[in-house]
Structure formats: C-alpha cells, structure tokens
Copies of this chain bind each other. A is one copy, B any other.
C-alpha cells in the first residue's frame, strides 16, 4: 500500500474498516476467546491496534486529546517495554470487559480524533505523523492476519469445529489457490552470483527489510509451485512422522512430546477413502470454512518449520534461504509466490548487515525478535491486500503451526 498525503484519509479508513469486516462473522463471545498464549482474542486485536494510534500519534500530536480510558494503556499494550507495564499475554482471554461494544466505541473515538488530526494538521505535523500513521496501518494489517489465524485456532479447539465464515458461494476459493500446473514440480534454474537483497527505501518497508545489500548466491533451482496437500499426504503415508532421520533434533523432540502425526488441522476421517481424495487417505482439513475434505492440489498449510524441513529432507531437496527466495521472486514460470501460504525459509531471522532499528517506540518493532525464529517469505490467504512485498520478512518460532505456513522447495545446481 502506498500512502501519499492526499490519500491519507482513504488509506486510514480502508484499513480500519477492513479490521471490522474481518470481525463481522464473529459473535461477541467468539471475539473474546484466547485459545493459547501465542494467540489473542479478536477484540484484543481491535483494541490493541487502536491503542497503537492513540499512543504514538494522538497523545503526542493532537493537542488536548483525551484518552478514551487511561486504563487501556495497560490492557492493550502488547510488548512495548518502553511504553510501560502490560497485562500478561496469556490472560487476554479473561478480559470480558471492556465489552466488544466498548471496544467499538474506543475505535470510533480514536478514528474521530485521527480524522480531526489528519484534517487539521499543519505541514510540520503532517511530516511528523505521516510515517507514524503509515506504520500504524501496516501494524494493523499484521494484526488483521492474526485475527484470522487466531480465531481459526480457537475454533479448531472447539469439538464442534465451527467455521469462521462460509465458503465463498461460487466455490472458487480452492481453484484460485491451486497452481495452474499442479503436476510434477518444474525446477526453474537460477544462476547465482551477486544479487541485491532487501528493500531500497522507496515506499514503505519495515526496518528489518533493510539495508539493501549485495549477497553472493550459488546456482540453484526453485520449484515452480508450492508443495501440495497431496504431496504432503504421501510423506505421511511413507511414515514421515515416525522416521527420526528426516527430522531436525528439536523437531523430532516436538513430534514425540506433542504427539504430532499430521499437520495441526488435519483430521483423519472415519470412513473409507473415496474417489475424491485422490489417494490421500481420508483426511479432512480444518480451515476458514470449517472442516473440508482434503484437496490434493491445494497448497499444504499450517506446517511448523520442523515439518517443512522434514518434508524437504524426505524429498531429497531442501528449503530455500530467504536470499534464494527473494532473488527468485520474478523468475519466469514461477507461481504462488504470494497470497497462498507463507513459505518457510532455511534462514534464521537475523539483522541484515548494517541494520539499525527504527527510532523511538518503533525501535522495539522488529529487531528485538532476531533470535530463535525462522524467516518466512511470501504472504498467505489471510494477508491483507497490498500488505506484503518481495522483500517482506515474516518470522515465527520453528514450532509455530497456527499460521498459514507452507513450503516451496529448492535444490542445488
């Protein structure tokens, strides 16, 4: 999303409205639930993103701004140490108050104040707040993705397995996600050599995407499409979850400790496999629209890094580094690079050479998570339109399974 001065209001309104639209299919009860410490209630996301604008824009820049409720600073801060103490993360699901209605009122209060500020700001203020608002909108978009992944996880914990929202009526969601060439992987050659990596500074990017720098690559080939559910079902059928030699040590420990035997949202069916399952056993897969028969051509999703790496090992290929992924973004013939699943890379999440965090409160935004996590590239069905970029670096711990995360393979040339 490119936000230039005359588009402020439109961008702000669109992003803020989109959050509300995502929550729309959910009851107040649904919006309050937290199914694990890593996830948050929808209501909390709606309030936290609002708190962000209040804290970094309204309080410093709108003269006479009156906070909606001073106590919200405590309730809706997430991890910003510089912004004071916080409600404990695993207890977000206990906040039945403020009610959803009050959070809606909070959003309106802040939106109106933002509108006032954006209307009245003199040029100097405008220069000061424009990057903060831009950051706030991208921040809210990140939480939009979490709204979806977190509620899907919560609903998956309910034995009734309710759907977040009905399947699009035209039945086109799945086809749209499939590769146009779902057959055997085509290996697209990449020559290697010095490539430019990272964002060049034109338009918005997060601090962790820069500085742009040269990186030396060896020749490799990259798969033209993502790994599918059918591909992954074959790995399971071949005993993938019972063969320690395929797994990283920490991954195998997770398999044993957690009793993993399939991706988190795969549910074995009770009846005999039918025609439609295409040799994939009788798996059903839980997702945005509830529990559906596995689609062998759809990208496999909700894998941990450990599962992604074990799968790659099983194929004899490997996961790409984030540099290989980025350099291959525009490779002719490549498909599904964004909008399907985030793609695990072999790269740990580290600072680029010369990396300096943003100044001020945003300093805590990305840099402090640069250990113990793996980089993901691309973007998923839950990523808001316009949010991601080829240089975008998403990151999660290697055991995380509740994001829409999948695999693209590479191999050495």
Contact = CB atoms under 8 A, between A and B. Distances in A.
Given A370-B248, A371-B305, A74 B348 contact: no
A309 to B, nearest CB: 7
B363 A94 contact: no
Interface stretch (A12-20, A27-35, A166-174): A27-35
Interface stretch (A44-52, A229-237, A349-357, A385-393): A349-357
A158 B82 contact: no
Interface stretch (A60-68, A96-104, A326-334, A335-343): A96-104
A308 to B, nearest CB: 11
B216 A216 contact: yes
Contact of A82 (B74, B87, B245, B353): B245
A122 interface: no
Main SS class of interface, A: mixed
Interface of A: 27-33, 35, 71, 74-75, 79, 81-82, 87, 91, 93-100, 154-155, 157-160, 162, 194, 213-216, 218, 244-245, 247-252, 305-306, 309, 346-348, 350-351, 353-354, 363-364, 368-372, 374, 398, 412
Contacts of A368: 247-249, 252
A351 B244 CA distance: 19
Contacts of A93: 33, 93
Contacts of A348: 348, 350, 371
A93 B412 CA distance: 44
Contacts of A79: 249
26 contacts: A27-B96, A30-B96, A32-B33, A33-B94, A35-B94, A71-B160, A74-B159, A93-B93, A94-B154, A94-B157, A94-B158, A95-B158, A96-B154, A97-B160, A214-B216, A218-B353, A245-B364, A247-B368, A248-B368, A249-B369, A250-B369, A305-B371, A306-B371, A348-B350, A353-B412, A372-B398
Given A74-B159, A216-B214, A348-B348, A96 B32 contact: yes
A374 B350 CA distance: 11
A395 B11 CA distance: 46
A170 to B, nearest CB: 26
Contact of A29 (B28, B248, B398): B28
A159 to B, nearest CB: 6
A-B pairs, 10 with minimum CB distance: A348-B348, A81-B244, A216-B216, A29-B96, A30-B96, A249-B368, A94-B157, A29-B32, A97-B162, A218-B353
